[in-house]
Structure 1
Amino acid sequence: MTYDDPPPPLAAQANALRSLLRLAELHPELPGAYVVSHNIDADRIDVQLDNPSSFEAWREALTASPASVRSKPCEDRELLEFTAPAHPSTIRVYAIFPRLTNDAGASA
């Protein structure tokens, strides 16, 4: 996607920001996150979390099915991600965290 000339006004992002506000009002206990609203994709909010338990809390709040979660390695870390509707917008939630390894069989 490219920027328009001139770029869209802040008002173009209003629906996405309202969706995030509505989610915060309905689920005030949700863990805080790094949140980005894009003027290129004005109807989407990106939410970045730093651990699996925060990610799971957001997944449950957005009623996204466990099957909607994608997982992939990212160097020595793991990335979990899902996208859910937050009418009339979309929320993309992802978490990047250190990959857990099973060293139980390794000797010291």
Structure 2
Amino acid sequence: MRTANLADQSVVFTCLAGLAVTHPNLPAPYLTLSRHLPQEVAVQLDSPAAVEAWREVLGVAPDRVVADRIGDRPSLEFKSRAFGVHFFVYAVYTPATQPVGAT
């Protein structure tokens, strides 16, 4: 069995470095990479606005963004393949206002 190495993740690192250079104002994420899925990256962001910024840069259609829940909090998320990398981009957030009728 072959041992995983850092070079296996080079596509993700190269992609992220390219995004940092070409889009320096893109909101900074918390990133999760794994040697088990070397061409995938989870991009955790602080807000729905940050998800929107990443969506635009990755060329994802607005209708591919899903409003969901992670635990008891709302989330906004999408999956995409861009630049040879599988992205899972999401933000868990606290809504600014309560839904109508909520107490």
| Structure 1: runs of 5+ lacking an equivalent | none
Q: Residue 99 of structure 2 aligns with which residue?
A: 102
Please state if 1:60 is matched with 2:53: no
Q: Residue 18 of structure 2 aligns with which residue?
A: 22
TM value normalised by structure 1: 0.81
Larger Rg: 1
Partner Cα distance (2:43, 2:2) in 1: 26
The Cα shift of 1:6 comes to: 6.3
TM value normalised by structure 2: 0.85
Q: Are the equivalent residues in 2 in contact too, given 1:44–1:91 (CA < 8 A)?
A: yes
Q: CA RMSD in A?
A: 2.0
Partner Cα distance (2:46, 2:66) in 1: 16
Give percent identity, aligned residues only: 34
- Deviating runs (4+, > 4 A) in structure 1? none
